[in-house]
């Protein structure tokens, strides 16, 4: 599939959802949104215990999955060994649903929103702004690492570092 402006993509999650790419891949982001990692880089580093996009990979570029650390289809629990820092830094999807953090057309959460945004989907219903605000709120964890860890000490605050990877912040510096 070619991912270019004007392409319509049919999602498997949720079934029947169709969206159009209205921006170039990886470009024309909101000025307040400056992710440090692409979805491909996140998947290669190891995020979400390897459970993301196993069954509905067809929606996304094949290149994202060549080196991705994913569990085989059928696995139901995250495998923290597949996360870069070897630690679970996620809350169950049920918690996200209970808190109202899930957008109806992105039932897998923030990363699904980000993957589609990265491809060029833009939403005019306030959802992009809401998700960007949530992303910006993760900056407090970056500050805590800067203030409490020696530069380059990747053993310091591993859970926060893993969580930051889940939000496209590069916590490996």
Identify the pLDDT of residue 70. 93
Q: What is the mean pLDDT of residues 140-151?
A: 96
* pLDDT at res. 96: 84
Residue 29: the pLDDT is 98
Contacts for 94-102 with beta carbons within 8 Å, 24 or more apart?
Answer: 101/134
pTM exceeds 0.75 for this model: yes
Question: pLDDT band at 171, cuts 50/70/90?
Answer: very high
Which pLDDT score, from 0 to 100, does residue 94 have? 87
* Interatomic CA distance for residues 80 and 1, integer angstroms: 32
- φ, ψ of residue 20 to 5 degrees: the values are -110, 140
Q: State whether residue 166 is helix, strand or coil.
A: helix
Residue, of 94 and 82, whose pLDDT is higher = 82
Distance CA 87, CA 80 (A): 5
For the stretch 17-55, pLDDT in tens is 999 999 999 999 999 999 999 999 999 999 999 988 876
Mean pLDDT (the chain, rounded) = 94
Segment 92-117, tens digit of pLDDT: 888 888 988 899 999 989 999 999 99
């Amino acid at each position: 599939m070619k991912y270019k402006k004007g392409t319509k993509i049919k999602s498997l999650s949720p079934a029947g959802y169709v969206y159009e790419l209205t921006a170039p891949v990886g470009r024309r982001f909101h000025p307040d949104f400056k992710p440090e990692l692409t979805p491909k880089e996140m998947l290669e580093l190891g995020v979400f215990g390897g459970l993301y996009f196993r069954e509905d990979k067809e929606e996304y570029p094949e290149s994202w999955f060549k080196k991705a650390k994913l569990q085989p289809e059928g696995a139901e629990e995250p495998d923290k060994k597949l996360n870069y820092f070897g630690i679970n830094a996620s809350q169950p999807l049920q918690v996200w649903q209970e808190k109202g953090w899930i957008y109806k057309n992105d039932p897998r959460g923030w990363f699904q929103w980000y993957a589609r945004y990265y491809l060029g989907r833009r939403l005019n219903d306030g959802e992009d702004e809401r998700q960007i605000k949530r992303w910006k709120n993760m900056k407090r964890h970056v500050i805590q690492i800067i203030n409490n860890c020696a530069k380059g000490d990747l053993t310091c605050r591993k859970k926060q570092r893993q969580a930051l990877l889940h939000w496209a912040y590069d916590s490996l510096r």
